[in-house]
Amino acid sequence: MRAVVKVMLKDGVLDPQGEAVRHALGAMGFAGINGVRQGKLIELDLADDATEAQVREMCDKLLANTVIESYRIDMG
């Protein structure tokens, strides 16, 4: 079984890395980019009996900083 976890900074949290990417794209001539938010994608190869609750616990304990980040889990 595979789980994909998408981790992003929560709304209102400054994203200096995203801002650096936005600025660099503008400097390269790409116009019309008003904002960039950067996150991370984590793919987990799990045993067939793994549950979403287990993946949620992994996120809460290690994969995401839940103070400033939110996450979404896609099991499949």
Per DSSP, helices labelled H in the chain are 16-27, 52-58
HSE at residue 75, side-chain half, CA atoms within 13 A, is 12
Average pLDDT, the chain: 97
What are the boundaries of each domain within the chain?
2-75
For 4-16, write each residue's pLDDT tens digit.
Answer: 999 999 999 999 9
The topology under which CATH files domain 2-75 is Mth169; Chain: A , (3.30.1280)
Q: What is the pTM of this model?
A: 0.88
5: β partners: 42, 73
For 33-61, write each residue's pLDDT tens digit.
Answer: 999 999 999 999 999 999 999 999 999 99
Pick from 60, 58, 72, 76: which is nearest to 7 by CA? 72
* 3 pLDDT tier (thresholds 50, 70, 90): very high
C-beta neighbour count of 22 within 10 angstroms = 18
* 76 pLDDT tier (thresholds 50, 70, 90): confident
Q: Cα dist. 5→25, 29, 47 in Å?
A: 27, 32, 16
